[in-house]
């Protein structure tokens, strides 16, 4: 007797054990360790695959070149920064709290040990590999700048502050927040600041900035909150 029912064919090859995105994150974490340990020139794609526990074939399929791998390392950290500065959440906070939150997030990102190591790598090897300077500028500096500038523009549009050159002012604020501690850490003169120190510096920087930029209406609103 012949049975006509079709039998489902088993797929060829080994079944995928781990989603590509999860594997990609493992590769990026391993690449960060490899770059920080050996620099850009000394980093090996084969060693990255070994650190991640994946085959080189899989790694090259997900991230084909060392330049793209470096860019992915930078982009992954900045993406977490962008998520922390969710526009809807920031806009629910009072002005000074929103600014403090933004500065704490920015300080935590830029004064972190991994970020300092990445900066040292870029400064040390950008003459030989201009692509890493371009990646850092595009994926890190530009994205953080645009995110913070966008917040300031919303405050200006609402009449909370008055600033003639907002991008210049925000650049000054970023420098006030991180320049001195970051330079000291990069020179090996101190350890990266902890969360409490970053938060204290953010409060002070936010207050100085708002004292100079807040409109009369904004200052009156702040005074009402402080006395209520």
Find the mean pLDDT for residues 162-177.
95
Residue extent(s) of CATH 1.10.357.10 domains in the chain: 71-220
Q: Do the beta carbons of residue 33 and residue 44 sit within 8 Å?
A: no
pLDDT for 226: 55
Question: Which pair of tokens denotes residue 23?
Answer: 């594997």
Q: And the tokens for 220?
A: 């009156």
Question: Among all chains, which residue has been given the structure tokens 């900066």?
Answer: 119
Long-range contacts of 155-162 (CB under 8 A, 24+ apart): 155/95, 159/215, 159/217, 159/218, 160/95, 160/214, 160/215, 160/217, 160/218, 161/210, 161/213, 161/214, 161/215, 161/218, 162/213, 162/215
The yes/no answer on whether domain 15-64 falls in CATH 1.10.10.60 is: yes
Lowest mean pLDDT of 30-34, 64-68, 81-85, name the range.
81-85
Assign a CATH topology to domain 71-220: Tetracycline Repressor; domain 2 (1.10.357)
For CA atoms 92, 94, 99, 102, the dihedral sign is negative
Give the per-residue pLDDT at 18.
Answer: 80
CATH 1.10.10.60 residue ranges for the chain: 15-64
Residue 56 has pLDDT above 50, yes or no: yes
Per-residue model confidence (pLDDT) at position 11: 47
């Amino acid at each position: 007797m012949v049975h006509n029912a079709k039998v489902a064919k088993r797929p060829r090859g080994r079944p995928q054990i781990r989603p590509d995105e999860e594997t990609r994150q493992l590769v990026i974490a391993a690449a960060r360790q490899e770059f920080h340990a050996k620099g850009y020139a000394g980093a090996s794609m084969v060693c990255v695959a070994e650190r991640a526990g994946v085959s080189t074939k899989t790694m090259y399929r997900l991230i084909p070149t060392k330049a793209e791998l470096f860019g992915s390392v930078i982009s992954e950290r900045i993406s977490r920064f962008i998520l922390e500065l969710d526009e809807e959440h920031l806009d629910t906070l009072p002005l000074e709290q929103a600014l403090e939150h933004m500065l704490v997030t920015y300080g935590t990102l830029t004064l972190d040990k991994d970020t300092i190591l990445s900066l040292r790598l870029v400064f040390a090897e950008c003459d030989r590999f201009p692509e890493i300077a371009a990646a850092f500028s595009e994926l890190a500096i530009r994205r953080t700048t645009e995110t913070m500038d966008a917040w300031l523009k919303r405050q200006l549009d609402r009449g909370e502050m008055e600033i003639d050159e907002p991008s210049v002012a925000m650049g000054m604020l970023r420098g006030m927040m991180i320049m001195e501690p970051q330079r000291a850490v990069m020179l090996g003169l101190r350890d990266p600041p902890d969360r409490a120190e970053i938060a204290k510096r953010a409060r002070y920087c936010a207050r100085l900035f708002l004292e100079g930029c807040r409109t009369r209406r904004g200052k009156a609103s702040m005074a009402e909150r402080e006395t209520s």
